[in-house]
Amino acid sequence: MIDLFTKQEKVALGFLIGVSLIGIILFEFLGRPPVSQVPFVRLVVHVNHASSEELAALPGIGPVLAERIVQDRGQHGRYMVLEDLSRVKGVSSKLLQRMKDLIQFD
């Protein structure tokens, strides 16, 4: 009989298969990590440079309100502080509080 693998290669292959099986079993047994442990990337939008599509990605801002923000910025200039956004129709103080950590002024 012809051996395709040396003894060392067989041992290494057996080790890799064993470790893989243990990983699969542990994953199935332990399951996925809770959502609270899954890392995420926080969206930060620069309101003075963002397109209406980027602004629409913010919670509570849809395409219509995003377009109003872009138009207001073009007509009245840059936003310097959070409260400047309240000059846009539809931007309430509650909405400002929801997105205060998600926007930057530069």
Beta bridge partners of 46: 104
Contact of 104 with 49, CB cutoff 8 Å: no
Provide the pLDDT for residue 42. Answer: 65
Provide the pLDDT for residue 17. Answer: 92
Q: Could you tell me the pLDDT band of residue 33, with boundaries at 50, 70 and 90?
A: low
Whether residues 55 and 20 fall in one domain: no
Whether residues 97 and 54 fall in one domain: yes
For residue range 39-67, list pLDDT tens digits in order. 656 678 999 999 999 999 898 999 999 99
Q: Which domain holds residue 97?
A: 45-104
What's the whole-model pTM score? 0.61
Domains of the chain: total: 2
Whether residues 74 and 93 fall in one domain: yes
Whether residues 29 and 57 fall in one domain: no
Instruction: Report whether pLDDT(19) > 70.
Output: yes
